[in-house]
Amino acid sequence: MKPINVGLVGIGTVGGGTYTVLKRNQEEIARRVGRNIVIRIIADRDIEKARRLVDDDTKVTADAFEVVSHPDIDIIVELIGGQTVAKELILQAIANGKHVITANKALLASHGSEIFAAAQQKGVIVAFEAAVAGGIPIIKALREGLAANRIEWIAGIINGTSNFILSEMREKGLAFETVLAHAQKLGYAEADPTYDIEGIDAAHKITIMAAIAFGIPVKFDKAYIEGITQLSNDDIRYAEELGYRIKLLGITKRVTKGIELRVHPTLIPVKRLIANVEGVMNAIVVKGNAVGPTLYYGAGAGAEPTASSVIADLIDVARLLTADPEHRVPHLAFLPDLLSDTPIVPMEEVETAYYLRLQVMDKPGALADITRILADSGISISAMVQKEHAEEEDKVNIIMLTHTTIEKNINTAIARIESLPVMAGRIVRIRMEELSK
């Protein structure tokens, strides 16, 4: 089947990530869609940089309007941002009957209703998963996954820059200005950080979510917006002492008088999961009247996380252009004739770390025998503590954490150790996962 041809407007951070991920995961994506998705033409003002980033068979132009009017292109991806040229380009693409994918939250929060009306009339899709919370599929969750619910409220950490600053202020006791400068050095904050630290970016995103949650037009101009520039370490510390953490939240809520739509620093109880979202990560709590609270967490910015959402939208549209509606999303996500027969690894071959608790007679030499057996099995210890035995004082509990090893090795070692005369009971073995990479 011939590929889906995509035109990309703007190859900055997210555009570059989209190009890279689409290429790297090409095979995986084709197994899900049933055909390839290929970026054929790219427009960027910096035509030299664009040429360096892409393959020779990808056309590069400085003229974005050439892309949106290209007869071979099925889908336009708009990633230049801003509200003037981007709007013109999107409306032109729609008029040309192209589907459009955009990450442009500012544009949609202010002009979304006009753009969606044009798309609706023309029968094309304007998809925008990447406009809110980067790689988190929150638009899909709100529009589809939670569609059974009457949504009651949404509260989200939806600006990674400001969350990073608040995390650093709290953890290191540093002042706002110091942390901002540090964030700029790390690339987490832009040279002009106004949109992030003044809450404007978060307001764009909560405006879009409010529209989807409550079935109202986008109303950015009605949002209340307050940033984090006035926050002091004293208040962060006092809040903590009272059991609260300060986060910049976007909040939208259905109340008797109407819809609340606001962005401001907010004290939330430390015991809430969302209070523990630190650094540049984003998280959104959605309260539905049937499901109760649900939370969605992930990277809210960055080249590849945002590309993940751009490409999810590409796949959505590509699936629509490829299969009958009933077969649009395969039952098991991949086309049935493209399932793989990758084997399930037997447990004996699984590699993981272990927590071991050994009940040992409190005698000299016991530990030496045990550690020698572990060493023989190629198992190394990352931590060890000895604990009194609760009931019998001639016994001790030895707790060991191991580095990763094969289950077979630990089984062998456990069998050998349990046969030592110094052992006072069976070994407790619990697997450990860092879940970090």
Q: Which residues are catalytic?
A: 205
Read off the tokens for 349: 């071959």
**Minimum CB distance to a second copy smaller for 42 or for 133:** 133
Out of 146, 157, 301, 370, the only residue in the binding site for a second copy (CB under 8 A) is 146
Cα(202)–Cα(76) distance, rounded to whole angstroms? Answer: 25
Task: Single out the segment in contact with a second copy by CB under 8 A; choices: 63-71, 168-176, 187-195, 214-222.
Answer: 214-222
**Minimum CB distance to a second copy smaller for 62 or for 117:** 117
**Minimum CB distance to a second copy smaller for 48 or for 269:** 269
Enter the DSSP assignment of 81. -
For a second copy, the binding residues in 80-139 under the rule CB under 8 A are: 112, 116-117, 119-120, 123-126, 129, 135-137
Cα(403)–Cα(398) distance, rounded to whole angstroms? Answer: 16
Cα(427)–Cα(355) distance, rounded to whole angstroms? Answer: 10
For a second copy, the binding residues in 288-307 under the rule CB under 8 A are: 288-299, 304-305, 307
**Minimum CB distance to a second copy smaller for 230 or for 419:** 230
User: Measuring CA to CA, which residue among 132, 142, 126, 104 is closest to residue 305?
Assistant: 132
Kindly state whether residue 187 participates in binding a second copy, applying the rule CB under 8 A: no
**Minimum CB distance to a second copy smaller for 46 or for 171:** 171
Residue 251 near residue 285 (C-beta atoms within 8 A): no
Out of 174, 381, 401, 420, the only residue in the binding site for a second copy (CB under 8 A) is 401
**Least gap, CB of 329 to a second copy (angstroms):** 5
Out of 36, 83, 397, 404, the only residue in the binding site for a second copy (CB under 8 A) is 397
Neighbours of 273 (CB within 10 A): 11
Enter the DSSP assignment of 145. I
Was 12 annotated as part of a binding site?
yes
**Least gap, CB of 89 to a second copy (angstroms):** 18
For a second copy, the binding residues in 315-334 under the rule CB under 8 A are: 315-316, 320, 324-334
Kindly state whether residue 22 participates in binding a second copy, applying the rule CB under 8 A: yes
**Least gap, CB of 115 to a second copy (angstroms):** 8
Out of 62, 147, 186, 415, the only residue in the binding site for a second copy (CB under 8 A) is 147
Residue 253 near residue 285 (C-beta atoms within 8 A): no
**Least gap, CB of 412 to a second copy (angstroms):** 18
Cα(295)–Cα(283) distance, rounded to whole angstroms? Answer: 7
Q: Which backbone phi and psi does 90 adopt, to 5 degrees?
A: -65, -45
**Minimum CB distance to a second copy smaller for 152 or for 369:** 152
Cα(343)–Cα(74) distance, rounded to whole angstroms? Answer: 38
Out of 47, 53, 259, 367, the only residue in the binding site for a second copy (CB under 8 A) is 259
**Least gap, CB of 58 to a second copy (angstroms):** 19
Enter the DSSP assignment of 429. E
Q: Which helix (H) or strand (E) holds 157?
A: strand 151-157
Kindly state whether residue 421 participates in binding a second copy, applying the rule CB under 8 A: no
C-alpha dihedral, 62 to 66 to 67 to 70, nearest 10°: -150
Out of 83, 96, 149, 404, the only residue in the binding site for a second copy (CB under 8 A) is 149
For CA atoms 93, 97, 101, 102, the dihedral sign is positive
Beta bridge partners of 225: 263
Out of 308, 402, 405, 409, the only residue in the binding site for a second copy (CB under 8 A) is 308
Residues 6+ apart with CB under 8 A from 88: none
Q: Give the 3-state secondary structure of residue 40.
A: strand
Kindly state whether residue 410 participates in binding a second copy, applying the rule CB under 8 A: no
Size of the site for a second copy (CB under 8 A): 147
**Minimum CB distance to a second copy smaller for 367 or for 432:** 432
How far is Cα of residue 428 from the mean position of the Cα atoms in its chain?
36
Cα(72)–Cα(5) distance, rounded to whole angstroms? Answer: 7
- Tell the burial category of 35 from Cβ atoms under 10 Å away from its Cβ (0-12, 13-18, 19+): middle
How far is Cα of residue 17 from the mean position of the Cα atoms in its chain?
14
Kindly state whether residue 169 participates in binding a second copy, applying the rule CB under 8 A: no
Kindly state whether residue 188 participates in binding a second copy, applying the rule CB under 8 A: no
For a second copy, the binding residues in 338-367 under the rule CB under 8 A are: 338-345, 347, 349-351, 355, 357
Kindly state whether residue 143 participates in binding a second copy, applying the rule CB under 8 A: yes
Was 279 annotated as part of a binding site?
no
Instruction: Give Dmax over CA atoms of the chain in angstroms.
Output: 84
Was 218 annotated as part of a binding site?
no
**Least gap, CB of 48 to a second copy (angstroms):** 26
In the annotated binding site, the residues are 9-16, 105, 190
